[in-house]
C-alpha cells in the first residue's frame, strides 16, 4: 500500500514541546547539520495568515489547523522536513518518521519564559503544561509509540548532544 513513509527519500521529523524548551534553537542547528528544511509553524501561520484572528486571552493567533495542513502537504510528501511546533495532534500521522518531545526542568523553563516576558496565566499555563507532560502525552496519543522520543533540553550540552544524535538518526534513515 501507500501508507507509511514509502514514497519519501528523506525522513520528516517533528520537534514538539512546551514553549521555551528549545525547539527553535534545536531545529535551526539540526536543519543545518542534517540538511533538513526547518518549518516553524508559528512563523508560517503569521506569514501566510493561516489563522482565524487573535485570541486575547491566550495572547496568540487562533491557528487554522486545516489551512496549515493544506499548506504543508506537498512538501511533507517530498520529505526532508523538520517541523517545529508546540502541538502535534492535528498533523496527519503518516507525515512523520520521528517525533521528538523536548523537556526542560521546571525552574529552568520558568527562568527562560520569564526572560521572554511571559507572566501571569500565560507563564503558569506553560509551566503546568511542562509539569504534567502534556506534549509527551499528546505525542503518544497521536503517533506510534516507537517513533516518539522524549529528549532533555536543560542546557547547551543537551542541545549539542541532541543535535548529534538526531543528525546521525537522519543520515542513517532509509525508506521502508
Identify which of residues 96 and 118 has a Cβ nearer to ligand ADP in the complex: 118
- Exactly one of 112, 122, 140, 161 binds ligand ADP (CB under 6 A); that residue is 112
Binding status of residue 125 toward Mn ion by CB under 5 A: no
By beta carbon distance, the residue nearest ligand ADP is 22
* Residue ranges in 119-138 that form contacts with ligand ADP under rule CB under 6 A: none
Closest CA to 159 of 37, 48, 6, 21: 21
**What DSSP string describes 131-176?**
HTTHHHHHHHHHS-GGGEEEEE-SSHHHHHHHHHHHHHHHHH----
The answer for residues whose C-beta is within 8 angstroms of residue 57's C-beta and 6 or more apart is none
- Exactly one of 17, 24, 153, 155 binds Mn ion (CB under 5 A); that residue is 24
Could you tell which of Mn ion, ligand ADP, none binds residue 25, using a CB distance below 5 to 8 A set by kind?
A: ligand ADP
Binding status of residue 28 toward Mn ion by CB under 5 A: no
Amino acid at each position: 500500500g501507500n501508507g507509511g513513509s514509502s514514497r519519501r527519500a528523506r525522513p520528516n521529523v517533528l520537534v514538539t514541546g512546551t514553549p521555551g524548551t528549545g525547539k527553535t534553537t534545536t531545529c535551526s542547528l539540526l536543519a543545518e547539520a542534517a540538511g533538513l528544511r526547518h518549518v516553524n509553524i508559528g512563523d508560517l501561520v503569521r506569514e501566510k495568515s493561516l489563522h482565524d484572528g487573535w485570541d486575547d486571552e491566550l495572547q496568540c493567533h487562533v491557528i487554522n489547523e486545516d489551512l496549515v495542513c493544506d499548506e504543508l502537504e506537498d512538501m511533507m510528501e517530498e520529505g526532508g522536513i523538520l517541523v517545529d511546533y508546540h502541538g502535534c495532534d492535528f498533523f496527519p500521522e503518516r507525515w512523520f518518521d520521528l517525533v521528538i518531545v523536548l523537556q526542560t526542568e521546571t525552574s529552568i523553563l520558568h527562568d527562560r519564559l520569564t526572560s521572554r516576558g511571559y507572566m501571569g496565566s500565560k507563564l503558569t499555563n506553560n509551566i503546568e503544561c511542562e509539569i504534567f507532560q502534556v506534549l509527551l502525552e499528546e505525542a503518544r496519543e497521536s503517533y506510534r509509540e516507537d517513533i516518539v522520543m522524549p529528549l532533555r533540553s536543560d542546557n547547551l550540552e543537551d542541545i549539542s548532544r541532541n543535535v548529534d544524535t538526531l543528525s546521525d538518526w537522519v543520515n542513517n534513515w532509509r525508506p521502508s
